Chains A and B, each alone.
Chain A
Amino acid sequence: MAVISQKNNYSLKQFSLLSIMFFLFSFSSLWAQDISGVDESKMDLSNSTRELMKNIKDSDINKEYLIELIEKSRDLKLSEERYWMVLMHYKKKTFNRFESYVDGKFFFNDSEGKYEPQRELEATLKGFFYGDKENPLILHPQCRFTARYRWLKEKLSIEPSKINEFQCTRFEKWKKSLDVESVTLVFSSFYLNNPASMYGHTLLKLNKRRNIKGLDLLDYGLNFAANPGNIDIISYVYFGLLGGFPGYFSIFPYYMKVNEYNDTESRDLWEYHLNLNGDEIEKMMYHIWELLGTYFDYYYFDENCSYQILSALEAARPTLYLSDKFSFIVKPVDTLKLVSEQKELVSSLKYRPSVLSKYKIMYSNLSDKEAELFSDMLSDHILLPDDLTPERKAFIIETFFEFSTYKKYLNEGQVEESEKEYYNKLLLLRSKIDEKPNIEFINTIPENQNPLSGHESTHASANFGYSGRGYFTSLVFAPALRDHIDSPVGYSAYSQLYMFAVGMKYFYEEKKYPQLDYFKLMEVISLSPLNRHIYRPSWKLSFGAKSGYNELLKKEDTDRIYAYFTYGMGPTFESYDWGYLDNFAWYTLIGAELNGGYLFHKGYRAGTVVSSGILWRMTLFWSWKIEANHHWMYPDYKNDWFDFKAKTNIGFNQSFALEAAYEYHLKADNYNEISASVKYYF
């Protein structure tokens, strides 16, 4: 969730530190969410109104009309209506209590407004009449709570003359300058190198009414993000999980967002046009104005960017029930799917390739000879020979531009002087070629990568198998996100991301209770194939707890659980021209492993692990993964061992797959197992 904008992307080192922090704070975050309570103070409604009335001075002329409106609102039970719930972001808690997700003080007119829908409604009406006495400098409530005013005015048939209606010039000007005709839901794809963006990000694009097409960059994007400022990584994780950052809605010219995602972070943008009618858009704009002036506590897992964007859509069309469909982890891709499942809501799709995607597809279009020239351009800064046609010359240069842009951002904007000079020379050279190469093909939507067509993002599987310890059954539950072996459709093919995944195992012959196989608090594997002149290391980071039953441990230790932390790095080679991309990869990761637990003589062991494996996609829905690992650990009794794993997955649709696996642990009493499983994605 690219929700927390950071000036720099995290380096791998920071990433690992971050992960350790994750480890430490995840549990406390769960706890914090559970006990987040409702304020204890309870007020009798009639009392509160009496109090409200007491504060109104006799000299105020429209007191009677206000009382009339308040009584009418009670008769109509307006505070129980869906739209009031939506506008105030109330969520029902236990015992018929409510709590608003909004944390900004200026959002409420009543001190208890966060918890008391009726009190807040009455205080809002009062505010409309008498202004905000405590904060006279800020916008008048009529102009601050534009959507509330609009709705209450309609519901209660408020007569403007009796209430002293304000001209909200700033709001009107703002609305007019945005002049929104339609709305697009934008998904920015997964970005494993920044923990804040691993699950992708969503924002809304507000499309201006125009006579001329093709000016999308000048539209505005509505974004919800936490802003940690320049703080250290520990506070970042701590507050990200526990909700110490205020999350703000803000609007930015869309070109800023395109630059940020497409160029700086190399993430593809998927734009889903929404079918909202004029009235719905109007409602939404009235509410967006209210949102821009407040903040929400930001929570990485649930009250995040995607969640809040859904609430903005509900304000447009309150019959959409989107934001209450989630619990625990709100993944941007799920919110996207949910929106697309609504009847006739998504009408069309536009794709904006990232600078990296553009480069890759352009590079693949080079002939062998041109690719050789391209290498020479990189290494020797050559100027192109004259036997090329002007179109091809232009095409190669443009390919080089995309590559340079990608590389520049990768190096955080640092470019060597000689490279800068060469780049400028190529710019000048390109300007002298009038012919325009046809590069339309780079905008073709790669349907295989459409996040909507990917498998669902939570999975559970039931396995049955035979092992060195007899027959067994195991169950796996993984709330996020995917394994390498899953179909690559809709995801980054080379990413594996687990969070809070748990596996339980039961050996029939031993007739003991089911035992924990593993608990993956977090596991990220990001493979970056070395080709097309992109040389980035592949890496793996994993930590959690697992059982030692399949290792070189004494029989009586086999059920013991220990904690592990692994980090590895290495190269990946890919055969990308075997029919289609991302077809076959061979990776080797060399890293360190640290284990801790009672079963080790000294309470821990540490060492090195070398993993090497292949990932082979026979089709988009049939994958193989074969991996061998060698461990050297110290200081425990058996210092090194080898294991081997092979697995295949056949996907049938977005929610169902079959898997088969074989595992062999050399010297671990030669433990081995073979299993078959049914996997369900939901």
Chain B
Amino acid sequence: MKKTLLSLTMAAAVTAFAFMPANVHAAYGTAGCGLGAVVIGGGDGFLQVSAATTNASFYSQTIGILLGTSECTDSGVIKAEVEQKVYAFNNFETLKKEMAKGEGESLYTFAHLMGCSAEAVPAFGQMTQANYGQIVSDSEVTPESMLNSVKELAKNDSTLSGTCSAL
């Protein structure tokens, strides 16, 4: 009986939630962009990852399936146009480590998101290592500024500019 009552309460709550105006949902993502937004808003971005996996997307994903709303994702799948950004925000610390090393799974995945062909991936790694000081020169480096300088550098790199299609 207790179980039934509780279910009913939750059903009511979720149903109520589903019919809230859209801007109420947006409050979960500070920049209004579901999945990545909380991470973006969080600066350093650590525990923000789990914040993103809890608050931001979970309601909006379920509601999103039913009603089709979300600015960052299509039914839970990150939209292509924000994929690089969301990736850079979520993997910022790992990317810094791997750029300094010039290799690593997260870095190679990043290269792939830049549209680099498989052959160009190691060169991409070397480029980020060689220019590491420049990429994170500023101690206030943010995921976004990192993303921009990496792209800028790759554009000016004779090998990468031709083989990475999404700079």
Contacts and interface: CB of A to CB of B under 8 A. Distances in A.
A116 to B, nearest CB: 16
Contact of B109 (A36, A255, A256): A255
B58 to A, nearest CB: 5
Nearest to B93: A405
A7 B50 contact: yes
Nearest to B78: A253
A37 B94 contact: no
Contact of B74 (A8, A174, A239): A174
B46 A297 contact: no
A6 interface: yes
B15 A105 contact: yes
B133 to A, nearest CB: 6
A131 interface: no
A295 interface: yes
Contacts of A242: 2-3, 6
B74 A177 contact: yes
B27 interface: no
Given A256-B52, A431-B129, A292 B65 contact: yes
A246 B10 contact: yes
B136 interface: yes
B52 A7 contact: no
B49 interface: yes
Interface residues of A, number: 75
A503 to B, nearest CB: 31
Contacts of A260: 49-50, 53
Interface in A225-253: 225, 227, 229, 239, 242-246, 248, 250-253
A477 to B, nearest CB: 26
A409 B46 contact: yes
Contacts, number: 187
A170 B11 CA distance: 25
Interface in A369-409: 394, 398, 401, 405, 408-409
A289 interface: yes
A106 interface: yes
Contacts of B4: 36-37, 39
Contacts of A36: 3-4
B112 A218 contact: yes
A104 B18 CA distance: 12
Interface stretch (A339-347, A422-430, A605-613, A619-627): A422-430
A427 B136 contact: yes
A431 B128 CA distance: 9
Nearest to B10: A246
A177 B73 CA distance: 11
Interface centre among B77, B103, B132 (most CB of A within 10 A): B77
Contacts of A412: 46-47
B81 interface: no
A144 interface: yes
Contacts of A357: none
B95 to A, nearest CB: 11
Contacts of B7: 103, 243, 297
Nearest to A138: B66
How many B residues touch the partner, as a band?
A: 35 or more
Contacts of B35: 252
A174 B46 contact: no
B62 A248 contact: yes
B125 to A, nearest CB: 10
Interface in B72-87: 74-78, 86-87
B49 A259 contact: yes
Nearest to A228: B54
Interface string B16-59: 00000000000000000001000000001011011111110111
A173 B68 CA distance: 12
Given A7-B51, A244-B6, A430-B100, A139 B58 contact: no
Contacts of B109: 214-215, 217-218, 255
B147 to A, nearest CB: 15
Nearest to A429: B100
B84 to A, nearest CB: 11
A409 B136 CA distance: 22
A264 B75 contact: no
B161 interface: no
A253 B103 contact: no
B102 A436 contact: yes
A611 B65 CA distance: 54
Nearest to B1: A35
A260 B53 CA distance: 9
A572 B50 CA distance: 31
A294 interface: yes
Contact of A264 (B1, B50, B77): B50
B101 interface: yes
A53 interface: no
Interface string B98-114: 01111101101100110
Interface in B111-157: 112-113, 118, 129-130, 132-133, 136, 139
B163 interface: no
B102 A103 contact: no
B102 to A, nearest CB: 7
Nearest to A144: B66
B130 to A, nearest CB: 8
B118 A212 contact: yes
Nearest to A135: B66
B66 A106 contact: yes
Nearest to A402: B97
A137 interface: yes
Contacts of A431: 99-102, 129-130, 132-133
B100 to A, nearest CB: 4
A293 B105 CA distance: 33
Contacts of B2: 32, 35, 242
Given A7-B50, A7-B51, A243-B7, A427 B96 contact: yes
Contacts of A470: none
Given A251-B76, A259-B90, A428-B132, A264 B53 contact: no
Contact of B105 (A144, A217, A239): A217
B68 to A, nearest CB: 6
B14 A434 contact: no
28 contacts: A6-B50, A35-B2, A37-B4, A106-B66, A139-B66, A170-B74, A171-B75, A215-B109, A227-B58, A239-B6, A243-B6, A250-B58, A251-B76, A255-B90, A255-B91, A255-B106, A256-B49, A256-B53, A256-B90, A260-B49, A292-B76, A293-B66, A294-B62, A295-B62, A394-B101, A421-B139, A427-B96, A436-B103
Identify the 4 closest CB pairs spanning chains A and B, nearest first.
A431-B132, A413-B46, A293-B65, A36-B3
Given A37-B1, A260-B53, 15 more contacts: A32-B2, A37-B4, A103-B10, A137-B67, A173-B74, A174-B76, A214-B105, A214-B109, A250-B58, A260-B50, A292-B62, A294-B62, A413-B44, A431-B133, A436-B102
Interface of A: 5-8, 32-33, 35-37, 39, 103-106, 137-139, 144, 170-171, 173-174, 177-178, 212, 214-218, 220, 223, 225, 227, 229, 239, 242-246, 248, 250-253, 255-257, 259-260, 263-264, 289, 292-295, 297, 394, 398, 401, 405, 408-409, 412-413, 421, 424, 427-428, 430-431, 434, 436
